[in-house]
Amino acid sequence: MHAPDGSVRGPYAEYQAWLDEQEAGLMRRKTSEAEGFFRKTGITFNVYGEEDAEERLIPFDMVPRIISGGEWRRLSRGIEQRVRALNAFMHDLYHRQEIIRSGRLPERLFRNNAAWLPQMVGFTPPGGVYTHITGIDLVRTGPDEFLVLEDNARTPSGVSYMLENRETMMAMFPELFSRVKVCPVSDYPRRLAKSLAACAPEGAPDKPTIAVLTPGIFNSAYYEHAFLADQMGAELVEGSDLRVVDGKVQMRTTIGFKPVDVLYRRVDDDFLDPLTFNPDSMLGVPGIMDVYRAGRITIANAPGTGVADDKAIYSFMPEIVEFYTGEKALLPNVQTWRCADPDSLKYVLSNLEELVVKEVHGSGGYGMLIGPTSSKKEIQEFRAKLEADPENYIAQPTLSLSTCPIFTKKGLAPRHVDLRPFVLCSPDGVDITPGGLTRVALKKGSLVVNSSQGGGTKDSWVLED
């Protein structure tokens, strides 16, 4: 919000002017009101792996994260380039594997990868789209420096928080939105429904039936599943509501079974079809993969896209982007050491105190070491894990992440943030919602923004300039 000399940065000028006009207790009162709104609406998440696991309220900070229109246009070009490359990469990986033949990507990266599905080999999803919904995690390290921290191509979550954060801000500060021109995000569900409909299989009706497949009410993101189905005008279904009838996936209704054309699934690959994957799964639909491979249903995102979430694959993304687009990556990666490489492993083991080390398949901030904030004991324990299974880890430098102010009892204070823009992909093109979900590390000095690790969220504003 402020430059090192204390001056207000351009995108925040109008917001700062508004803030200066407000009486001292306003933000404290509004924070309390917003918490009540979130509690009443039921905007919660679950934390797994804790004995006292319970639904928690996601902390919401009232100070928006503001990005200028010019910055957003530059970011959008890089995001679109990356998503197009990811989609082309998925197609190649399940067909001719030209990138492997060229020597740009080692074969072992997907041969030993549980997310790579042999069942998808030789099959092209309807419309040729693999990554229908993608979340690209970005971090800022300088005035014009954005880096990609992670690609979420499997089942990216958090879009409901982006929408509820904006609705809350507009309810709390309506006069602010008449003063500062902010790009809207409320039409995301309509754009999602339109994008999914454009991916419907051949032979589907002009208005295809879209359903959201949820694992059920005990899933940590169930609120989001129900919210998106409701906002899209789609059906919310569980595996037990679906069955294969007459060669199509159909859902139970009060007047019998009705075919589903597009299934936005929030169930992991392994649980999607007990006849193809995990035979003990009660969450999926027996036989859905046969219907899918016959081209009679669209599954979003396509099974097998989890390969792109892999952090070892991530380390090759600059090469992947260049291979499929013929252009240098507009958005660079964070420097990454692949611990499977002996020289990289040697460097990482010698510098554990300064690095961030992550599991290749890890997510949600679990299974990682942040060297500068870890004890000697934690570092020694992690060293043993690394030496035992180096292929399971990558390492990155501890970045000097940008900060945004949050409202604390003592006033505004800086905290580290990242940004997850949400990207829709269909045969009609790539559609990027302006802004996305800003996650913020609420603990002073912390670099971990995940809600499961004590992080919160903010409204993200892209200015209409």
Residue 2 burial by CB count (10 A; 0-12/13-18/19+): exposed, middle or buried?
Answer: middle
Q: Stretch 353-372: mean pLDDT, rounded?
A: 79
**pLDDT above 80 for 426:** yes
**pLDDT above 80 for 223:** yes
The secondary structure of residue 117, as a DSSP letter, is -
Half-sphere exposure of 453 (CA within 13 A, CB side): 16
Cα 231 to Cα 154, 163, 436: the distances in Å are 21, 11, 17
Lowest mean pLDDT among 91-100, 232-241, 401-410: 401-410
Q: Stretch 232-245: mean pLDDT, rounded?
A: 97
- Give the model's pLDDT for residue 362: 62
At 304 the three-state DSSP class reads coil
- Give the model's pLDDT for residue 55: 61
**pLDDT above 80 for 320:** yes
Lowest mean pLDDT among 125-129, 151-155, 366-370: 366-370
- Give 223's contacts (C-beta < 8 A, 6+ positions apart): 42, 43, 44, 45, 160
Higher-confidence position of 97 and 454: 97
Higher-confidence position of 233 and 454: 233
Q: Examine residue 333 and say whether the peptide bond preceding it is cis (omega within 30 degrees of 0).
A: no
- Give the model's pLDDT for residue 144: 82
pLDDT band at 39 (very low <50, low <70, confident <90, very high): confident
Higher-confidence position of 367 and 219: 219
- Give the model's pLDDT for residue 43: 64
**pLDDT above 60 for 46:** no
Q: How are beta strands 44-46 and 55-57 bridged, if at all?
A: antiparallel
Contact assessment for residue 196 and residue 298, using Cβ atoms and an 8 Å cutoff: yes
Higher-confidence position of 34 and 431: 431
Higher-confidence position of 286 and 371: 286
**pLDDT above 60 for 50:** no
Backbone angles phi, psi at 435, to 5 degrees: 115, -110
- Give the model's pLDDT for residue 58: 78
At 398 the three-state DSSP class reads coil
Backbone angles phi, psi at 338, to 5 degrees: -90, 115
pLDDT band at 25 (very low <50, low <70, confident <90, very high): confident
Domains of the chain and CATH, by start? 10-201+297-331+399-462 (no CATH), 337-397 (3.30.1490.270)
Contact assessment for residue 130 and residue 301, using Cβ atoms and an 8 Å cutoff: yes
What percent of the chain lies above the pLDDT cut of 70? Answer: 95
At 252 the three-state DSSP class reads strand
Distance (Å, rounded) from C-alpha 93 to C-alpha 91? Answer: 6
Contact assessment for residue 224 and residue 46, using Cβ atoms and an 8 Å cutoff: no
Distance (Å, rounded) from C-alpha 334 to C-alpha 140? Answer: 11
| Model confidence pLDDT, tens digit, residues 191-220 | 999 999 999 999 999 999 999 999 999 888
Average pLDDT, the chain: 91
pLDDT band at 270 (very low <50, low <70, confident <90, very high): very high
What percent of the chain lies above the pLDDT cut of 90? Answer: 73
Single-letter amino acid, residue 112: N
**pLDDT above 70 for 45:** no
**pLDDT above 80 for 41:** no
Backbone angles phi, psi at 443, to 5 degrees: -80, 135
Q: Stretch 335-354: mean pLDDT, rounded?
A: 92
Cα 401 to Cα 72, 142, 147, 155, 246: the distances in Å are 18, 8, 10, 25, 54
Backbone angles phi, psi at 22, to 5 degrees: -85, 150
Residue with structure tokens 């010019």?
70
pLDDT band at 42 (very low <50, low <70, confident <90, very high): low
| Sheet strand arrangement including 256-259 | 242-245, 248-253, 256-259
**pLDDT above 70 for 142:** yes
- Give the model's pLDDT for residue 100: 95
Indicate the helix (H) or strand (E) that contains 225. helix 222-232
- Give the model's pLDDT for residue 250: 98
Lowest mean pLDDT among 15-19, 68-72, 281-285, 441-445: 441-445
Q: Which tokens belong to 45?
A: 């998440």
Contact assessment for residue 48 and residue 55, using Cβ atoms and an 8 Å cutoff: no
- Give the model's pLDDT for residue 442: 87
Residue with structure tokens 């693999």?
130
Half-sphere exposure of 343 (CA within 13 A, CB side): 1
- Give the model's pLDDT for residue 31: 85
